[in-house]
């Protein structure tokens, strides 16, 4: 009994400890809820990934963007035109200046000395010019005196030559009118006069050469004076270049000059960054297919977060960026690796888009450029749309269908267009209508003229009044006789008969139809006939 009781007591604890493990059955619904939640999360992730992928595909297909874009602007480098020592600097770093503001001033002592030196040299040359001009005048007087002496010597030589000739004629073998001594004296005087003439001519030539030399010296001095005058003007101009002014408006940057600095001509002393900025976007060559000049561009600049600027494509670079590099690539070697090149594209920002951010935009800032390729651009870079077709005439449509670049085809289209509408506008006259009606078998009674509409009769009367008046035979004969012509005998009788018939001539004959039963009167006219 004790053993059984002990066994019973031993079994009881096992039943008590196993009892709490029975509620493990409800764990299956919790697992199902957990798996369902996981599926929802995975599905949401997949849907989100699909949306993101679709968005990326859409953006890559219809948009082109690049982060390789930077702001650029006009930077004017200021340098002096003359060398000198800086005396005063009127600006500081990052200061805003306007065009014409004084930037710095150089010491004027060096250039003032050059001006005084040029003035002294010019005065010296002026004194030499005056001296040479006096010598030129004196030489001119000497030349005139030499010419007068030459004229007097020529007269004496002619007289001596005539005396010698006369004495030679008087002293011959047959005639001894003068003595031998007188003849010799005449010949000697002739030779002396000829020698004097030659000497005077030599003096005149020397005076003329001296005058020409002095004139050449004067011209040389005048040319040298012009050179010195140019040097003086240059020295005065350099003296004015001691003051350096701002050529454009903007902000001072990269100032590397101070008071006392010695600067040379053309040396950069500071830079002025102008207010106008644009963007240089370096697109890949594979991105240029959908870009066109004038397309709208959206720009986001890192320095201005939260604001999107609007601009347009202004122009494309004529070559890739690597082509203008300091060391351009040389692909003629054996080792070649293809690298996608980038082409700079200039983008101009709209002034309305810049607005209050004008002072925050500086050259060198980074930018993100995005272009919508769905834009339809016209010739001027403006968004265009197709206009509705207009109603046109058939021949106008055929003309417009021919391109403007082919004038021969356009002319062929115009000439081959139907002319029926143009011909249909011609109104049928009353005579044509009457002829057409009679040709179809209809007849008109004798009183048809009275029964014709009043409008037709009025139209024919108006036509008869406005028709040009035809000259009658009597008027022609009178005009011919007034010009001096005459006719043969018997012509007057014939003309009288013709005049009587003209009143009763039918309308068809007056219009130009000739009747064969009416005799034609021939005139025999001749000028001045009896």
User: pTM here?
Assistant: 0.51
Question: In which residue are the tokens 């002739």 written?
Answer: 190
Position with higher pLDDT, 239 vs 469:
239
The CATH number given to whatever domain includes residue 161 is 1.10.287.620
Strand (E) positions, 220-305? 243-245, 250-253, 262-263, 270-284, 296-301
Closest CA to 430 of 454, 462, 460, 466: 460
pLDDT per position as a tens digit, 144-169: 887 888 888 888 888 888 877 877 77
Question: What b-and-e string marks burial along 378-407, b requiring 16 or more CB atoms within 10 Å of the CB?
Answer: eeebeeeeeeeeeeeeebeebeeebeeeee
Question: In which residue are the tokens 């200061």 written?
Answer: 95
Q: How far apart are CA 103 and CA 245, in angstroms?
A: 5
Q: Is the pLDDT of residue 13 over 50?
A: no
Q: Residue 416: its pLDDT value, please?
A: 43
Q: How far apart are CA 11 and CA 8, in angstroms?
A: 5
Question: In which residue are the tokens 């010419």 written?
Answer: 147
Q: How far apart are CA 299 and CA 163, in angstroms?
A: 116
**Mean pLDDT for the chain?**
74
Q: Residue 181: its pLDDT value, please?
A: 78
Q: Is 221 within the bounds of a domain?
A: yes
Q: Residue 417: its pLDDT value, please?
A: 42
Closest CA to 103 of 88, 117, 118, 85: 88
Q: What is the mean pLDDT of residues 129-138?
A: 84
Q: Is 232 within the bounds of a domain?
A: yes
Q: Is the pLDDT of residue 142 over 50?
A: yes
Domain final residue, candidates 183, 210, 237: 237
Q: What is the mean pLDDT of residues 412-430?
A: 47
Map residue 128 onto helix, strand or coil.
helix
Position with higher pLDDT, 447 vs 315:
315
* Cβ proximity of 251 and 98 under 8 Å: no
Q: Is 119 within the bounds of a domain?
A: yes
Q: What is the mean pLDDT of residues 262-281?
A: 93
pLDDT per position as a tens digit, 272-330: 999 889 999 999 999 998 899 999 999 999 999 989 999 999 999 999 888 888 888 77
Q: What is the mean pLDDT of residues 247-270?
A: 92
Q: Residue 73: its pLDDT value, please?
A: 92
Q: Residue 35: its pLDDT value, please?
A: 80
Q: Is 149 within the bounds of a domain?
A: yes
pLDDT per position as a tens digit, 223-252: 999 999 999 999 999 999 999 999 999 999
pLDDT per position as a tens digit, 376-420: 544 334 444 333 333 333 343 434 433 443 433 433 443 344 443
Q: Is the pLDDT of residue 37 over 70?
A: yes
Map residue 431 onto helix, strand or coil.
helix
Position with higher pLDDT, 396 vs 371:
371
DSSP character string of 26-94 = THHHHHHHHHHHHHHHHHHHHHHHHHHHHHHHHHHHHEEEEEEEEEEEEEEEE--SS-EEEEEE---TT
Q: How far apart are CA 117 and CA 125, in angstroms?
A: 13
* Cβ proximity of 404 and 410 under 8 Å: yes
* Domain hosting residue 478, numbered range: 469-511+519-530
Q: Residue 15: its pLDDT value, please?
A: 42
- Domains contained in the chain, number: 2
Position with higher pLDDT, 93 vs 17:
93
Tokens of 484: 């001096």
Q: Is 396 within the bounds of a domain?
A: no
Question: In which residue are the tokens 């450029």 written?
Answer: 369
Q: Is the pLDDT of residue 498 over 50?
A: no
Report the percent of the chain where pLDDT is more than 70: 68
Q: Is the pLDDT of residue 436 over 90?
A: no
Q: Is 1 within the bounds of a domain?
A: no
What is the DSSP pairing of strand 102-106 with strand 84-89? antiparallel
Q: Is 495 within the bounds of a domain?
A: yes
Q: Is the pLDDT of residue 458 over 50?
A: yes
Q: Residue 467: its pLDDT value, please?
A: 54
Q: What is the mean pLDDT of residues 425-450?
A: 63
Position with higher pLDDT, 70 vs 441:
70
What would you measure as the largest C-alpha separation in the chain, in angstroms? 225
Q: Which of 116-130, 157-171, 200-214, 500-514 has the lowest mean pLDDT?
A: 500-514
Question: Which span out of 57-66, 114-123, 172-181 was modeled with the highest average pLDDT?
Answer: 114-123
Map residue 220 onto helix, strand or coil.
helix
Q: Is 496 within the bounds of a domain?
A: yes
Position with higher pLDDT, 213 vs 14:
213
Domain final residue, candidates 190, 220, 237: 237
Domain final residue, candidates 177, 207, 237: 237
DSSP 21: G
Position with higher pLDDT, 213 vs 285:
285
Position with higher pLDDT, 197 vs 280:
280
* Cβ proximity of 270 and 95 under 8 Å: no
- Write the CB contacts of 163 (distance below 8 Å, at least 6 apart in sequence): 186, 189, 190
Q: How far apart are CA 49 and CA 480, in angstroms?
A: 112
Q: How far apart are CA 375 and CA 262, in angstroms?
A: 57
């Amino acid at each position: 009994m004790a053993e059984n009781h002990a066994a019973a007591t031993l079994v009881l604890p096992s039943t008590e400890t196993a009892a709490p493990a029975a509620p493990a059955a409800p764990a299956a619904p919790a697992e199902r809820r957990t798996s369902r939640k996981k599926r929802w999360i995975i599905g949401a992730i997949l849907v989100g990934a699909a949306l993101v992928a679709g968005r990326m595909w859409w953006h890559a297909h219809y948009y082109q963007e690049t982060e390789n874009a930077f702001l650029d602007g006009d930077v004017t480098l200021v340098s002096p035109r003359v060398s000198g020592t800086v005396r005063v600097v009127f600006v500081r770093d990052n200061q805003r200046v306007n065009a014409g503001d004084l930037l710095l001033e150089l010491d004027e002592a060096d250039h003032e000395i050059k001006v005084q030196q040029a003035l002294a040299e010019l005065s010296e040359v002026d004194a030499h010019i005056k001296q040479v001009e006096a010598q030129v005048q004196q030489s001119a007087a000497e030349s005139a005196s030499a010419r007068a002496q030459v004229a007097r010597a020529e007269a004496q030589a002619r007289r001596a030559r005539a005396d010698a000739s006369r004495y030679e004629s008087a002293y011959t073998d047959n005639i001894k009118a003068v003595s031998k001594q007188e003849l010799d004296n005449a010949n000697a005087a002739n030779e002396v006069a000829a020698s004097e003439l030659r000497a005077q001519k030599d003096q005149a030539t020397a005076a003329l050469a001296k005058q020409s030399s002095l004139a050449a010296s004067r011209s040389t001095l005048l040319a040298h004076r012009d050179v010195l005058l140019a040097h003086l003007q240059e020295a005065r101009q350099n003296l004015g270049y001691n003051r350096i002014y701002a050529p454009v408006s903007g902000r001072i940057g990269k100032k590397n000059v101070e008071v006392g600095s010695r600067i040379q001509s053309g040396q950069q002393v500071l830079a002025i960054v102008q207010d106008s900025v644009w963007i240089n976007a370096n697109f890949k060559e594979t991105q240029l297919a959908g870009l066109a000049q004038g397309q709208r561009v959206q720009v986001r600049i890192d320095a201005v977060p939260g604001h999107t600027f609007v601009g347009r494509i202004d122009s494309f670079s004529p070559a890739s960026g690597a082509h203008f590099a300091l060391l351009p690539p040389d692909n003629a070697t054996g080792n070649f690796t293809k690298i996608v090149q980038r082409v700079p594209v200039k983008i101009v920002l709209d002034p309305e888009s810049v607005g209050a951010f004008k002072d925050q935009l500086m050259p060198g800032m980074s930018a993100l450029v995005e272009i919508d390729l769905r834009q339809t651009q016209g010739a001027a870079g403006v968004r265009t749309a197709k206009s509705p077709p207009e109603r046109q005439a058939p021949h106008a449509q055929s003309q417009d269908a021919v391109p403007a670049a082919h004038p021969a085809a356009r002319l062929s289209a115009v000439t081959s267009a139907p002319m029926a509408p143009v011909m249909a506008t011609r109104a049928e006259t009353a005579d044509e209508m009457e002829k057409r009606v009679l040709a179809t078998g209809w007849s008109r009674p004798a009183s048809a003229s009275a029964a014709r509409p009043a409008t037709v009769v009025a139209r024919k009367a108006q036509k008869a009044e406005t028709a040009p008046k035809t000259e009658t035979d009597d008027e022609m004969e009178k005009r011919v006789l007034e010009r001096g012509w005459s006719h043969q005998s018997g012509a007057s009788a014939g003309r009288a008969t013709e005049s009587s018939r003209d009143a009763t001539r039918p309308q068809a004959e007056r219009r130009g139809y000739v009747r064969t039963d009416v005799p034609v009167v021939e005139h025999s006219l001749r000028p001045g006939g009896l």
